[in-house]
Amino acid sequence: MDDEDGYFGELVAAAYDESSADMFAPSVVEPVVDVLTGLAGGGRALELGIGTGRIALPLARRGVPVHGMDLSRAMVTRLRAKPGGDAIGITIGDFATTRVDGRFSVAYLLFNTIMNLTTQEAQVACFRNVAAHLEPGGSFVIEVMVPELRKLPAGQNVVPFHVSPTRWAFDIYDIATQATSSNYVEVVDGRGTYRSIPFRYVWPSELDLMAQLAGLRLRERWAGWTREAFTSESPRHVSIWEKPAD
């Protein structure tokens, strides 16, 4: 692990856009930007975990002023090198506690990034931090997976999600603590590498309680960015909480 950049240091940042190429496809990005532009309503947007600018850059091109937070200088360096990247304000820091100037119409935390906060305490602090940054009537948006515990037979704690002759990737779950990790084993030129990133999975109802503690209330929940209905079979959700206008 890179101590300065957390688990998203130079090694991860250098390959991030390529390894997550599907998430950069216009068909994926544009519905997200459509929703966030509508929620911004002419105001400012705050991205927690801005990374290499997958959403921030196209959102800024829509005319929405974006400010970002991120712990990884290596990821932000990639953002800065892209067209328009130098025009986006960025604060380096932990998005659970870092404060920036001004108020925002919308804050957002996408692509499972809430799970990068590995304790319930930090996740609660994130909601409170966002609430302090929002204007009255402002919105907080989270996109995150639904925990995949239904894939675990009794006595098993591992869910593989990629298997090939040269690469294996799997999640390990601790049901008692909600701790999980994504683990990667790769063989290149006969040499193996191993990398593990810790997360904390979180339930929709738990997020709603965190929002309530921060003074926010659930406005909408969908199964995806085109407003599909969220059901017990949905593998992920997009949730929007709002700060009361009064």
215: CATH: 3.40.50.150
Give residue for tokens 């966002």: 130
pLDDT mean over 83-96: 97
Residue 1 lies in a domain: no
pLDDT higher than threshold 80 for residue 167:
yes
Query: Are residues 233 and 127 part of one domain?
Result: yes
Predicted pLDDT at 246: 76
- How would residue 2 be classed by pLDDT, with cut points 50, 70 and 90? very low
Residue 80 lies in a domain: yes
Query: Are residues 111 and 227 part of one domain?
Result: yes
Closest CA to 33 of 3, 53, 6: 53
pLDDT higher than threshold 80 for residue 77:
yes
Query: Are residues 128 and 173 part of one domain?
Result: no
pLDDT-above-70 percentage for the chain: 98
Predicted pLDDT at 38: 98
Instruction: State which residues form the domain around 99.
Output: 10-147+202-242
Residue 2 lies in a domain: no
Give the separation between CA 67 and CA 46, rounded to whole angstroms.
5
Do 124 and 229 touch, CB atoms closer than 8 A? no
Q: What is the pLDDT of residues 138-163, one digit of tens each?
A: 999 999 999 999 999 999 999 999 99
Query: Are residues 62 and 50 part of one domain?
Result: yes
Residue 4 lies in a domain: no
Query: Are residues 45 and 160 part of one domain?
Result: no
Query: Are residues 160 and 84 part of one domain?
Result: no
Give the separation between CA 217 and CA 236, rounded to whole angstroms.
20
Residue 185 lies in a domain: yes
Query: Are residues 135 and 32 part of one domain?
Result: yes
pLDDT higher than threshold 50 for residue 96:
yes
Q: Which CB contacts under 8 angstroms, 24+ apart, belong to 1-8? A: 2/74, 4/73, 5/71, 5/72, 5/73, 5/74, 5/75, 6/71, 6/72, 6/116, 7/116, 7/197, 7/198, 8/51, 8/71, 8/72, 8/74, 8/75
Query: Are residues 128 and 229 part of one domain?
Result: yes
DSSP state of 153: -
- Model pTM score: 0.94
Query: Are residues 114 and 54 part of one domain?
Result: yes
pLDDT higher than threshold 90 for residue 13:
no
Predicted pLDDT at 5: 67
Query: Are residues 112 and 79 part of one domain?
Result: yes
Which tokens is 134 given? 């929002």
Query: Are residues 80 and 188 part of one domain?
Result: no
Closest CA to 204 of 150, 145, 159: 145
pLDDT higher than threshold 80 for residue 181:
yes
Residue 3 lies in a domain: no
Give the separation between CA 241 and CA 246, rounded to whole angstroms.
15
Distance of CA 49 to the CA centre of its chain: 6
Q: Give burial (CB, 10 Å; 0-12/13-18/19+) of 229.
A: exposed
- How would residue 19 be classed by pLDDT, with cut points 50, 70 and 90? confident
- How would residue 17 be classed by pLDDT, with cut points 50, 70 and 90? confident
Burial profile 186-202: b = 16 or more Cβ within 10 angstroms, e = fewer: eeeeeeeeeeebebbbb
pLDDT mean over 109-128: 98
Mean pLDDT of the chain: 95
Q: Give burial (CB, 10 Å; 0-12/13-18/19+) of 233.
A: exposed
Residue 50 lies in a domain: yes
Query: Are residues 231 and 114 part of one domain?
Result: yes
Residue 95: count other Cβ atoms within 10 Å of its Cβ: 26
Domain count, the chain: 2
Residue 175 lies in a domain: yes
Predicted pLDDT at 33: 98
Predicted pLDDT at 4: 62
Phi-psi region of 63 (alpha: psi -120 to 50; beta: other; left: phi over 0): left
Helix (H) / strand (E) containing 42? none
Which tokens is 70 given? 């991120």
